[in-house]
């Protein structure tokens, strides 16, 4: 046979080979002999159960492929064969053209199967790095864990400052720093206006006569109104270091807010993430704020994490750079 793109006298080459096993449930070779290379074995099966059993007979595989356009068959194969595979590729007519193929793991996919297929995960993706790292569980108070992990843990100690956090640059903010806002009483007009603006006329907000047998005792405020009202309480409207709010990472509505309830907000610096400076962009970092909305009883009614881009103090950065340059110059002179 011909070799394409190489010299067959200067290497070891094998043409593609297709084998057939007429009785795969009694013959063990196709399952026990791992033939690397362009080799495949055709093994017949009568139904889904037999297909799953054939997949299991390999006693652990890096990856298996299921070619079907039947979602029910695909689910059955996954539930039956997944324990014996590190990864399953599910191929149908919608993804066939764009598929990267049976043997190409992506960064966060498991690559490595149970048993003789690697013991769970291999170095096919980023997750494999964890096998070379030690993991240690920490027990302690929320305040202690916040200090160690540099991420505010709910229930930890909070510090307050007279300066609004939205008036501070990235490097001036501290984990656990908290703003406690003034309060606002929710009215029936608030609920009606929000329903009209948003188009959300769900019966629990608009029809008090329909609440029998529901979770609610009386007309309840929209969860997203509570979140919007919270923003109205904690946002400092003037131009400052906060460049943008670009989303929510977590949001939970924990307790109904009825007409007449009074809400306030505790806004806490939860986490700070450095960003590499980019040419033409304002130096900045990501600040995650924990938004804790509580009512007149002190109970939390909503909890969310908002993501903001916060500018760094360029003047302070320039000053630090100048100091660093002076120290480098002094060291050079001393040498």
Residue 184's pLDDT is 97
State the pairing for strand pair 300-311/242-253. antiparallel
pLDDT 10s digits, 129-140: 777 788 888 999
Count CB atoms within 10 A of the CB of residue 166.
Answer: 20
Say yes or no to pLDDT of 316 above 70.
no
Domain boundaries, the chain: 8-130, 157-318
Strand pairing class (284-294; 262-274): antiparallel
User: Does the structure show a pLDDT above 70 at 104?
Assistant: no
* Distance in angstroms (rounded) separating the CA atoms of residues 169 and 313: 6
Read off the DSSP letter of residue 177.
Answer: B
Contact of 26 with 53, CB cutoff 8 Å: no
**CA atoms 163, 169, 172, 176: torsion sign:** positive
Judge whether residue 322 has pLDDT over 70: no
The predicted pLDDT at position 12 comes to 86
* 3 state SS of 219: coil
Residue-level pLDDT at 4: 86
Question: What is residue 98's predicted lDDT score, i.e. its pLDDT?
Answer: 87
Mean per-residue pLDDT, 241-245: 96
Most confident among 86-100, 114-128, 290-304, 316-330 (mean pLDDT):
290-304
* Least confident among 32-41, 154-163, 255-264, 279-288: 32-41
Q: How far apart are CA 114 and CA 61, in angstroms?
A: 7
pLDDT for 16-73, tens place per residue?
899 999 999 999 999 998 888 889 999 999 999 999 999 999 887 878 899 999 999 9
Report the CATH superfamily, name and number, of domain 8-130: Aldehyde Dehydrogenase; Chain A, domain 2 (3.40.309.10)
Report pLDDT for 268. 98
- The yes-or-no answer to whether 8-130 and 157-318 have a common fold is no
Q: Given pLDDT bands bounded at 50, 70 and 90, which one contains residue 280?
A: confident
pLDDT at 119: 59
pLDDT for the residue numbered 327? 59
Answer whether residue 77 shows pLDDT above 80.
yes
Q: What is the DSSP letter of 5?
A: S
At 15 the pLDDT is 85
Query: Quick one: average pLDDT of 65-82?
Result: 94
At residue 281's C-alpha, the angle toward residues 278 and 282, to 5°, is 115
Asked whether residue 263 carries a pLDDT value surpassing 60, the answer given is yes
Compute how many other C-beta atoms are within 10 angstroms of the C-beta atom of residue 176: 21
Model confidence pLDDT, tens digit, residues 281-290 = 899 999 999 9
CATH architecture of the domain with range 157-318 = Roll (3.10)
Taking residues 193-205, report their average pLDDT. 97
Tell me if 256 sits within 8 A of 219, measured CB to CB.
Answer: no
């Amino acid at each position: 046979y011909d070799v394409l793109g190489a010299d067959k006298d200067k290497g070891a080459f094998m043409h593609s080979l297709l084998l057939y096993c007429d009785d795969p449930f009694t013959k063990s070779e196709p399952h026990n002999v791992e033939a690397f290379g362009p080799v495949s074995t055709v093994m017949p099966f009568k139904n889904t159960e037999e297909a799953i059993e054939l997949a299991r007979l390999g006693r652990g595989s890096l990856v298996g492929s299921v070619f079907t356009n039947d979602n029910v068959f695909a689910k059955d194969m996954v539930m039956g064969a997944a324990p014996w595979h590190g990864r399953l590729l599910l191929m149908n007519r919608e993804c066939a053209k764009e598929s990267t193929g049976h043997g190409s793991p992506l960064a966060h996919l498991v690559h490595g199967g149970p048993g003789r297929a690697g013991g769970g995960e291999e170095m096919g993706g980023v997750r494999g790095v964890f096998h070379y790292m030690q993991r240690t569980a920490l027990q302690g108070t929320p305040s202690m864990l916040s200090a160690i992990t540099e991420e505010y843990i709910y229930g930890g100690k909070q510090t307050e400052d007279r300066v609004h956090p939205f008036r501070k640059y990235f490097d001036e903010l501290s984990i656990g720093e908290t703003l406690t806002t003034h309060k606002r009483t929710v009215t029936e007009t608030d609920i009606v206006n929000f329903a009209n603006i948003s188009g959300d006329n769900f019966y629990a907000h608009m029809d008090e006569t329909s609440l029998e047998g529901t979770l609610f005792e009386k007309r309840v405020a929209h969860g997203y109104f509570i979140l919007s009202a919270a923003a109205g309480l904690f946002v400092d409207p003037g131009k400052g270091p906060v460049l943008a709010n670009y989303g929510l990472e977590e949001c939970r509505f924990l307790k109904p807010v009825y007409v007449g309830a009074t809400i306030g907000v505790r806004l806490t610096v939860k986490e700070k993430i450095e960003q590499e400076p980019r040419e033409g962009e304002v130096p900045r970092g990501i600040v995650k704020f924990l938004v804790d909305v509580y009512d007149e009883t002190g109970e939390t009614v909503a909890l969310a994490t908002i993501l903001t881009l916060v500018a760094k103090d360029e003047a302070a950065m320039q000053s630090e750079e100048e100091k660093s340059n002076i120290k480098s110059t002094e060291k050079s002179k001393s040498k």
